[in-house]
A = this chain, B = another copy of it.
Amino acid sequence: MPDAPYIVGVDIGGTKVACVLADGEGRIVARQWQPTRSAEGWQVVVGQLFEMTERVLQGVSPQLVRGIGISCGGPLDSQAGIVYSPPNLPGWEAVPIKSLFEERFGLPTRLENDANATALAEYRFGAGRGSRNMVFMTWGTGIGGGLVLDGRLYRGTNDLAGEIGHTTVLLDGPLCGCGKRGCLEALASGPSIARRARELAGESPDSLVWQKSSPEGVTAQHVVEAAQEGDLFARYVLAEAATYMGIGIANVAQILNPERVVLGTIAVKAGELVLEPLRRALAVHAWQRVRQVLQVVPAELGDRAQDLAAVCLWLED
């Protein structure tokens, strides 16, 4: 039913699974969530999802439901609806999640990777509103991306468009988790910020950072907190990461000429502490004519993004 009023949104995360029922304007009318029982195997997790989906659909006639959207970490095949072993879901080797849902509920189901789905949510309801060409970038444990170009999600040839975190920003730079060197993610992600603080710990033993954590246990969160309290060492470490982020965004901007770049977690938490050095790097590495139409802003939806992301798969035209 393309015009049916309700949409089911399913979010599969490594620590939490959630299911919502939303209307066509993205208003959540029912919500379920559980800790992901990922250690017990994918069948158990799919059982959790089925159970939650049944609950949010309780008393709702199937004719009133447009479809089910599922947001999940990649790699996955959005067309076939198959999930291929995301790092946060061990053992999910080729799980045909789309057909499992379609068989169980008799409702058309769409699967999308979480960065793309969140991009759609920010585009429609968050910091991307009113733009036509938007790059969304997660900025936390990893750096991923979702591209909305000419108003439509662009997935690439095999669902790998937007892997901005794995563009090379520093030739022969630090080793990345992906096996390459000098990736943006290896220079600017949360764990990279923590690693850099650790590397430089000996040079700034009096930093506030070390009142919050030992070098071994330090996280980007500690660095952001210390920076917010005025600590210069923490500010330096953040600015260095943000500078690389600015270079990576400049390259994306020269290629895609977007009007909005929406940045996730670290930009939301650290605000101008990262946005200011980021914009300075952008000014060095992207043309003025490219920058004049471009706004770089933090994401707006916060926790709501995950609820809305999967729902947005049925709000596309």
Contact = CB atoms under 8 A, between A and B. Distances in A.
Interface of A: 75, 132-133, 145, 147, 149-150, 152, 154-164, 166-171, 178, 180, 247, 250-252, 254-259, 284-285, 287, 289-290, 292-294
Contacts of A133: 156-157
Q: Identify which of A132, A150, A154, A156 gathers the most chain B CB atoms within 10 Å of its CB.
A: A156
Total copies of the chain: 2
A176 B81 CA distance: 45
Given A154-B149, A154-B150, A156-B133, A256 B289 contact: no
B157 A132 contact: yes
Given A149-B154, A150-B152, A171 B247 contact: yes
A169 B182 CA distance: 11
Interface of A is mostly: loop
A149 to B, nearest CB: 6
A257 B180 contact: no
A256 B256 CA distance: 9
A144 to B, nearest CB: 11
B163 A255 contact: yes
A21 B161 CA distance: 38
Contacts of A293: 157-158
B158 A289 contact: yes
Contact of A160 (B168, B257, B285): B257
A178 B287 contact: yes
B156 A256 contact: yes
A246 to B, nearest CB: 10
Nearest to A145: B255
Contacts of A287: 160, 163, 166, 178, 180
A292 B159 CA distance: 13
Contacts of A294: 157
Contacts of A254: 160, 163-164, 166-167
Contacts of A167: 250-251, 254-255
Contacts of A247: 168, 171
Nearest to A259: B157
A259 to B, nearest CB: 4
A214 to B, nearest CB: 32
A157 B257 contact: yes
A289 B150 CA distance: 26
Contacts of A180: 284-285, 287
A255 B161 contact: yes
A229 to B, nearest CB: 31
